[in-house]
Structure 1
């Protein structure tokens, strides 16, 4: 990966923050709900920086043809705009060996560029987290990195605990502050970690529904940033 420039993707090692949020996903397309989740996680957990990283090859979505990585990277850059503390990352760029991008491997690589005292928080939406048992080395991922999970109001938070791998149990509900629920996790060999739940994410947006809407001529979904919509139209994306 090339060193970070003002107009390009960021590398973690080029800033000194010690609480780093990593927000990976397909971002097909990136929308205001993504930005809202990153902003809420940053504010609630006191993160120094959030890296937003479109994934080149999502292991669980290999049966769906995603928009080219270069387009999703460009749209994500536009979606972030001038959001303070958020940076585009190419940490999940296409691999030279053509294999899928596994988050655990990506984060391990990122850690080599971080200060020794840094802590990485994984940010994701509740619906994505419900598939955690299918993720590569799920227990290792959960035990090594605290997760920050955004859920829309009314989401049944008990589903989060039910989605955990069988080897992980919820140790205790440690505290509940305004807009934050913290759960302790216990894995094998007494390993411990945490889940941070954000139950008040107001934007309930489906990327699938956005793509369907964009197939209609002249559609201008309100959940898309204007610059992102302009890019989509200019490049003829999401047409049948």
Structure 2
């Protein structure tokens, strides 16, 4: 009598199946921190270019509560900066808000923030977006040697700035849009037009609340 051999299929768990298919990769998310006083179209262009070029799932705009390197007297209330951000990013599914620094209060240090976010979201890789002008200041950032282990810095190239750093930085090209929040505030104070420099809903909010007029 001949014997028949029954071949059984190995049991593959959902986790193993996802690993085989490459579905267990971490989320790729951008963090764009700043005072956003106010947010302008240059910020939006930078975030869009980084997000699309790197294929990120989201780019979170993260307003600080009190910046460590600037005069806090120049920044308006956080609630106004957050409201302008909400209006600026509405309608773009790539963009979202991260308010961890506002909720925590006090001076906003990126190392503390990213350490907290990594603990909250261990399944996420963070790409920290900064302008080329800020790359030169990285040596002065609090606990920078530890911070670079938590995030991948993304530098947005800008005319007049050499794309190099002693720290690992992933460089991205973007259209050279020379807009600054300082210039926007000056334009408000001197009665100049903000059209095409700031999203229309943000302009409406600035005028409605009488921001930056004094």
Q: TM-score range by the shorter chain?
A: 0.7 to 0.9
The Cα of 1:210 is off from its aligned counterpart by: 1.0
1:157 aligns with 162
- Higher strand fraction: Structure 1 or Structure 2? 1
Say yes or no: does 1:136 pair with 2:142.
yes
- Higher helix fraction: Structure 1 or Structure 2? 2
Unpaired runs of 5+ in structure 2? 1-24
2:16 aligns with none
Say yes or no: does 1:204 pair with 2:178.
yes
2:92 aligns with 83
Q: TM-score with structure 1 length normalisation?
A: 0.73
Q: TM-score with structure 2 length normalisation?
A: 0.81
Unpaired runs of 5+ in structure 1? 1-15, 169-184, 186-194
The Cα of 1:90 is off from its aligned counterpart by: 0.7
Say yes or no: does 1:145 pair with 2:119.
no
1:10 aligns with none
SS in 2 for 1:112: helix
Rate the CA distance shift 1:236–1:29 in 2: closer, same or farther, 3 A: same
Q: 2 CA distance for matches of 1:93 and 1:53? A: 9
Most deviating of 21-30 and 196-205: 196-205
The aligned runs of 1:153-232 (5 Å cut-off) are 154-158=159-163, 160-161=164-165, 164=166, 168=167, 185=168, 195-217=169-191, 219-232=193-206
**Structure with the greater alpha carbon radius of gyration:** 2
RMSD: 2.0
SS in 1 for 2:31: strand
1:236 aligns with 210
The Cα of 1:144 is off from its aligned counterpart by: 2.6
Conserved 8 A contact 2:60-2:95: yes
Rate the CA distance shift 1:205–1:76 in 2: closer, same or farther, 3 A: same
2:13 aligns with none
